[in-house]
Chains A and B, each alone.
Chain A
Amino acid sequence: MSEIAIQAEGVGKCYLVGHQDAERERYTALRDVMARGARNLARTTRDMLRGRPVVQGDSVEEFWALRDISFEIRQGDRVGIIGRNGAGKSTLLKVLSRITEPTRGQIKIRGRVASLLEVGTGFHPELSGRENVFLNGAILGMTRREIQRKFDEIVEFAEVEKFLDTPVKRYSSGMYVRLAFSVAAHLEPEILIVDEVLAVGDAQFQKKCLGKMEDVGKDGRTVIFVSHNMAAIRQLCSTAILLRGGQLLSQCDSESAVARYMEQGVERAGHKLWAQGLGTELKLLSVTLVDSSGEVKSNFTSHGDIHIVMRYRVESAVEGAQVAFVLSTVDGVAVLTSQDGDAPGASARKEPGEYSARATLPRDFLNEGDYFLSFACHVPMVRILYHEDNVLCFSVKNIDGVGGFVDDKRRGVTRPRLDWRTAVEPVRDCAVLNELAL
């Protein structure tokens, strides 16, 4: 059993939130504070004179961004932190990397921590690439000697050898990001904290980054990784911490944590109704999943059809509108997009009235797993009438589909019955085979 790298006990972080226009400003100015103070004073005095209860303006409310978070992370673990916006991910990272102090609780960290909350923190546009490597390295906690030792490696990884003495403000954004990530990637901390940095750079470089981070993990170092990219979390992390509303919902293997994350706020009943309708001119009223017998459900078998029924009302005639849905996997990878205009002879003009549209996902098509449906209506290339992501979730089990009763896990999103034909080849002698090979 490896040692514990990070142990958090009852960590809480409280911010004071004032209910005043000032909250919208990026900073408080003394002028505003004084003006508001004078205003409040005037109001409270007036209230007092009129004999009304005095309400203190500028009410200050406590907002707990993190509440009683406890977890343990072992050395060499690669842990993902997931949660919706505002769940407290960034605050947790900030507390872990000591940028801000927790209000309550305690965290014990064994080993040197390097946090990468942003690519290229402290990069100065006027300085050259070479100078910035030293600057950024020092900011991330490397000593000068360490940077000198790894300098060539860093430059090689970033692929910017030719531009080392050019100010980074003249770099393309790709070069900039590559150099910045490269410095960070060559940190050798025992614990690496990474926030969403992979959202930058082209696909190839992202792959390289992910690979680098996997290497870091394999060296027995601990990686904490925050991302909205579920595929990256599943690929990179062994376990994951799921946060919601500042609280720790679960700490389990990344597979199930991602599944739980995706299900948050998603209807599993196989039915979703909008009382007011979704959209304006064309309103989506409800979406329902039914099987061939007409039963509403969210658990399907791969040998049965899945019908997606969308009811909508057209308030005023719309030209060229398409009612569409997107089917995606748990990782957020889109499987397909389909729309009513795909049907042969479909009319593009929607006349006022209520409609019910039904699309069918055929049997022997989807593999086992969970799927998500997003719904949208758009006039292609012109505008979007309504759009909502991950409205319904359903799962597919293989009971009597392709592969039969045998419990064989197959890779892939789809599991279609392909047209296999196998025939016996007539026996040829070796000479003919050689001739063919030539």
Chain B
Amino acid sequence: MQTLVIEPGVAERHYWRDLWRYRELFFVLAWRDVAVRYKQTVIGVAWALIQPLLTMVVFTIIFGRVAKMPSEGTAPYALLVYAGLLPWYLFSGALTGAAGSLVGNASLISKVYFPRLIVPSAAVVVAFVDFLISFVILAVLMVIYSYPPSWQILTLPFFVLMAFLASIGPGLWITALNVKYRDFRYVIPFIVQFGLYVSPVGFSSGVVPEQWRLLYSINPVVGVIDGFRWAILGGESRLYLPGFFLSWVVIVFFLWLGVRQFRKMEKNFADLI
């Protein structure tokens, strides 16, 4: 029989071991979030299809037809937009889910012990499920435009991971602060709305003038979207490497900041929430 010692600061030391021990709870919470999402909805899963599809249509018309922005190489503009929307919805969905997760699970946190990191991580999974569903549209679009994917599509999981890491850093940071200062819940819709236009979702990041490109890549989503386009559109899209690495640096920084802030506040969640 194992002995457990509770004293100030002990949770700190066994942190990652505990996290592994509670992995089953992670799966159950993720499954719950996914199951609940589609309960009591009439068209259920179709919601994950409608939103990106309509946004794609609107963006293609506005940026492609009205503003006459250039596509990347010979790729159809609709495909370019969709290849940007996929990572954007993955990012924003994961960020929103993670940021609201702690307060949304207040009753759980004040009544049961488990590593709190599980809650925002499980919330992120919902965004991934949505992503998989909306990925179907991409396949359909590729068939319609008879645009076969190249070998680069195999690198897509890597960029999916990148999108997750990009979202979970700020997500952890905001969800932790949200426990103490509820103002932060207003920050998220703002970031999501703002980010959609600041990030190269409706247009190619190639339209950004060369001298600003590095600065532009401070937005980590730029790197993610560029990566997605490179993987999906194949050789037509070129990866701007300095910017891509800068995005990684920013992502890692936010991840470090988020985890640190989260762990610093974690002990007091039950008292504050």
Contacts and interface: CB of A to CB of B under 8 A. Distances in A.
A122 interface: yes
A139 B28 contact: yes
A33 B184 CA distance: 13
B107 A121 contact: yes
Interface string B103-115: 0010111111110
B6 A95 contact: yes
Interface stretch (A46-54, A96-104, A229-237, A397-405): A96-104
Given A97-B113, A98-B11, A124-B36, A29 B181 contact: yes
B4 A113 contact: yes
B8 interface: yes
Contact of A99 (B2, B181, B270): B270
Contact of A103 (B2, B8, B11, B112): B8
Interface string B1-29: 11111111111000000000000110011
B271 interface: yes
B3 A108 contact: yes
B35 interface: yes
Contact of B180 (A28, A103, A140): A28
B136 interface: no
Interface residues of B, number: 41
Given A111-B1, A121-B112, A124-B32, A101 B181 contact: no
Nearest to B26: A138
Nearest to B12: A101
A138 B24 contact: yes
Interface string A92-125: 0011111111111111111101010110011010
A121 B25 CA distance: 14
A102 B8 contact: yes
A126 interface: yes
B112 A139 contact: yes
A29 B182 contact: yes
Interface of B: 1-11, 24-25, 28-29, 32, 35-36, 39-40, 105, 107-114, 179-184, 267-268, 270-273
Interface of A: 15, 27-31, 33, 94-111, 113, 115, 117-118, 121-122, 124, 126-127, 131, 134-135, 138-140, 143-144, 167, 190
28 contacts: A15-B271, A27-B179, A27-B180, A27-B182, A27-B273, A33-B181, A100-B268, A100-B270, A101-B8, A102-B6, A102-B7, A103-B8, A109-B3, A109-B4, A110-B1, A110-B2, A113-B4, A117-B112, A121-B108, A121-B112, A122-B107, A126-B35, A126-B36, A127-B32, A127-B35, A127-B36, A131-B32, A135-B32
